Amino acid sequence: MTLPTRRIGPFTVSAIGLGCMNLNHAYGRMPSAADGARLLNRALDLGVTFLDTAALYGYGDNERLIGKAVMHRRAEYTLASKCVLDVFDGERGLNGHPDAIARTLDQALVRLGTDHIDLYYLHRLDRNVPVEDSVGALVRAKEAGKIGAIGLSEMGAATIRRAHAVHPIAALQTEYSPWVRNPEVAVLDVCRELGIGFVAFSPVARGFLAGAVTDDNYEADDIRAIMPRFVEPQLSHNLKLLDRFRAVATQAGCTPAQLGLGWVLAQRDDIVPIPGTRSIAHLEEDVAAAHLTLDSATIAAVDAIFTPGAVAGPRYSPAMQAAIDTELLPEELADA
């Protein structure tokens, strides 16, 4: 099957990619390796040509899964992974030093079973290391043929400019959905100015806009249990917004998840959302949104729900926000 395509840096990829994180990380009980492999192969069968992973996901297990499950189909997709966030001396950590980046990359290549990663991101900004030094490590990796292009994740406009001055940045990845609008502060504009592609993770709000959250009784190790928007008393308020969002989806003749993805796709033609899922049925639902065209009235109806300040709770807890460089919204600054 084929899907509509979009450009991300030098790559032409399916208009909807696949975020692979939750096959091994962050959302409670993991699927089996066999089920994960089936989902990855089904994504390729459906025409998805952009797979996104990271060293951190499952502490390397996500890269191992991709290596075992779909590396035999390597010619069919653009592969993206990330460094800086990794496991160091047995503990999760953040290290943007060039030596640490080089080690993470070499270990990733082994786990993936390949000698080349198409797009390699700095997963987060290490404030203890000049971003120029971190990007320099990726420039050397590119010169060595280990990676094809350089990306940044969860970084703000000023940092993007500094990084881009060292070497052209192909892609910026951050969270973007109807209820997370932080890229609209500055990042979307600087990406357009500099010709940087935009990759939107969590385009259905970590499952919230798909109806996956009904209460805050989460499984152990579900990241949403420590995210303010997903717990009480904020959750009850936000579920009322979801009811309105569902009504718009019904009127538009699509599912809520497809409405979220369609909204992201409609913002600009250089944005590629990368929803993640553990369900093949949900995968098929998500991928179908690549063919969805929303009219202006539907887009406006979504925007009327998620007006500035409408969502209760910040995007991250204070501890999580400390590692994020992306700009805050005015209402977040007022609460800070």
Tokens 């270990």 belong to 107
- Peptide linkage before 318 cis (omega within 30 of 0): no
Tokens of 258: 């497809």
Residues 82, 111: contact at Cβ < 8 Å?
A: no
- Helices 98-112 + 131-143 axis angle, to 10: 40
What CA–CA distance (Å, rounded) separates 41 from 236?
37
Question: Who contacts 2 (Cβ-Cβ below 8 Å, separation ≥6)?
Answer: 47
Query: Buried b vs exposed e over 306-330: b needs ≥16 C-beta within 10 Å?
Result: beeeebebbbbeeeeeebbbbbbbe
Residues in the chain: 336
DSSP-assigned letter for residue 272: E
H-helix or E-strand containing 140?
Answer: helix 131-143
Tokens of 120: 């390699």
Burial class for 204, CB neighbours closer than 10 Å (0-12, 13-18, 19+): buried
DSSP-assigned letter for residue 226: G
What CA–CA distance (Å, rounded) separates 330 from 45?
42
57 is catalytic: yes
Query: Catalytic residue among 57, 77, 176, 316, which?
Result: 57
Q: Which residues are catalytic?
A: 57
